[in-house]
Structure 1
Amino acid sequence: MFRAVLTAAAAVALVIGGAAPATAAPSSVPGAPTSVRVTGAADSATVTWGLPKSGAKVTSWRVTVSPAQQQPDAGVDRLPAGARSDRFGNLTASTAYTFSVRAVGTRGTGKAVSVRYTAPGSVQTVQSLFALDGAGSVVRFPTSGTSAPTTIAPNAAGFTADDVGDVFVPSADRTSIVMYPAGGAAARTVATGLRLTADLRSDVAGNLYWVDSVSGAITKLPVSGAAPTAIIPSAGSGWAVGRDGTVSAVTFGTQGAATKVVSVSPTGVRTTRSIPETGYRIFAAVIADGGGNLYVNYLSTGASGASGWVLLAKGSSELVSAESRIGFTYAATNGRALVSAKSAGWCAAPSEGSPGGCTADKTITSLSSRTADGTTTEQTTSGVTAQGRGVWIGAADEAGNLFFDVSAGPTTGLWRLDAAGGVAQRLSAGQFSRLLVI
């Protein structure tokens, strides 16, 4: 994740077997990489290396981490020949990790050199909120809401950001992806000859995803520099990418027909689920957490105008309610939970619109966090009013703070609800879309 590190620990690395092994690999494969080192801070570590001193020409690199929990692609990164470093995020505090680097040639793989690193036991970090402003520029806010936004990229119809805060936007003709580096270096094109839509997405490893504008397939551009690959043939009614790299496409049935869910795990395992439906609701949106779980928003097919969120847990074929009551709702996921803000009142659409009917109290009075196992916490809030019916998706950080845009009503603007509850904080009176916390 892109973070301003408040507490950091330098790496204490042990090179297993040495940085420059004395025994060269056979000439048919590359030799062992040299000068292998690891440095780390907060919940990430960066491995660096040099070219082998002997052996065949290097065509690519294979870098692995163990243990591989929470790592995309089972902890295996495949990088192009020109690579000399690899970054791993989402490390677990106080855990000892082994990173191994191997050179790959046309006839095989050379000897690995490994280094060890122990993640610090206690690290305090801060994430950032990214969004599109009213002028179509990508801006970045601190999630604390304590300062004005910084403009990152102009004229962006859509965008995403990777684990270190690099921002990616589609070119105006939707054939290239342009990267704006986190450190402020000049923008550069990272891929061309593509068929993009504006809706770019990413996972914690930095792989990029979009729906092919011609075929409709969900497509992945690996962070390794490999060619784009179609992951799922169709995005269905809606699609989601979890921070762990799980990609899912949901196709909702109509008139009681079954809902189809296709998911591809970070290791490439594909599963297809058929979910029985009741026929009284239709698909509206789908979002994912960091553990392979999906949260699906539905709209009632009746006149009430009701909407809500249901959970489709990893490996399950059952939709389970993720809310305790109906209300006007703003919601998002972080790595572990559905975070939602809900109004005090709610009225069925006909009643709310008729003379003498009920008048809903649209004040946002609660903020809840619900994990896939059903663990729920709820806090009392005040200070912001929902705009009414609709599917309102914001962004949530790992601390459980919720960010959302209100485009109508008495409290328009970009808002932050603290995970501990209390009075809402207005970050800006302007309008923002495509909120993303990294």
Structure 2
Amino acid sequence: MTISDSTRARATDLLAFIDASPSPWHAVQTCETRLQAAGFAHLLEVDRWSLQAGGRYYAIRGGSSIIAFIIGAQPAAETGLRLIGAHTDSPGLRLKPKPGEDAQGMVRLGVEVYGGPLLATFADRDLSLAGRVNIRTPGGFTTRLLRFDEPLLRLPNLAIHMNREVNENGLKFNKQTELPLLLGVSDESGAETRFRQPIAEALGVAAADLLSWELNAYDTQKGSFWGVDREFIADSQLDNLASCHAALSALLATANPPATCLCAFFDHEEVGSESAVGAGGSFVADVIGRLAASAGLDSEDHRRMLARSFFISADMAHAWHPNFPAAYEPGHRVTVNAGPVIKCNANQRYSTDADTAARFMAICEKAGVPWQQYAHRTDLGCGSTIGPIVAARLGIASVDVGSPMWAMHSIRESAGVLDHTYMTAALGAAFSG
């Protein structure tokens, strides 16, 4: 397989993007850094907005969701909006508010399962902590991002000598008693102090001033290429930081678009999106409302704008796995490195309909990239995305698409090098059309 230098470079940049983003809050920070470097201005929701034609802006809500947009050259009521949505969160393990536990001389950290991870993949990995911490200040508190680069935690497997049927029955963990992560050996200071002290030292504050935190375990292994032609990539959080990276790259490469172009990356997709920062909240509708107000649109033109808009929900797709052929719907076996996948479900787990599928096919043809179609086996429950949520709340045409991947929700996922360039090109064509 021949892979161009530019395609390889784009995949390398994706891996760097993911490795810089071990939590939703870090993912937003990574996006913000790239947006600022491209001249995008930061808008605060508490301020009055004054938007200019051709302006490039972004807003952040809750530290873990971000919306970036470019004001189009033509009236929004006549062109509609071009929107791409993705999510910043990934399934995994989140620390409890008071996680420290002394267990017969070992310090364990209690966790909650966030979303639907493949729990077995967290065993025997070099784990560490990342997220945000609130620190006491004279006036209240301040929020700091935290990331331990070196392995800090582990979930060791039970030896096969004590779990003789593991290869026949599968690796299973009791979520309450067997998932706590090992931190170190206990001492006279107590488990909670042993947990707090490295955080306080990393942030340069007193342990007593640590008020609250949202921290997740993450895999410290960097992303990599693999395969005989290095045609595949492996990393954590490909679902769905790969879609964030593709959409952001497409937006940053868009110059002077006729229609207003917008990227919305939400937290909490993996747990239902029903939060102030999730796709089920008001964030994107609030931003669009302020865009309309800034353009002087009345309620009639606001509705005309939405009626002409198009939303692409970009989330990863299930690639055909040759070891498990029975898991797939015959005729819908999408393959890695064969192009973006259009995802369909009659029960509206995906937002795609015949019209929006055809529209995205035309976008792919314009971009010169192949496309595929996916439907889930009828006798298996189908996952969902932000697509139906955003489409229903805004009342706009929507399609669900994604790059094919293996091992979705594993701590170590895999995808194709070519597919990332294909998806970025397709999303770029959607913005420029």
Instruction: Please state which band the TM-score falls in when normalised by the shorter chain.
Output: under 0.3
- Counting helix residues as a fraction of each chain, which structure ranks higher? 2
Q: Which has the higher contact order (CA 8 A, sep 6+)?
A: 2
- Counting strand residues as a fraction of each chain, which structure ranks higher? 1
Q: Normalising by structure 1, report the TM-score.
A: 0.24
| Rg (Cα) greater in structure | 1
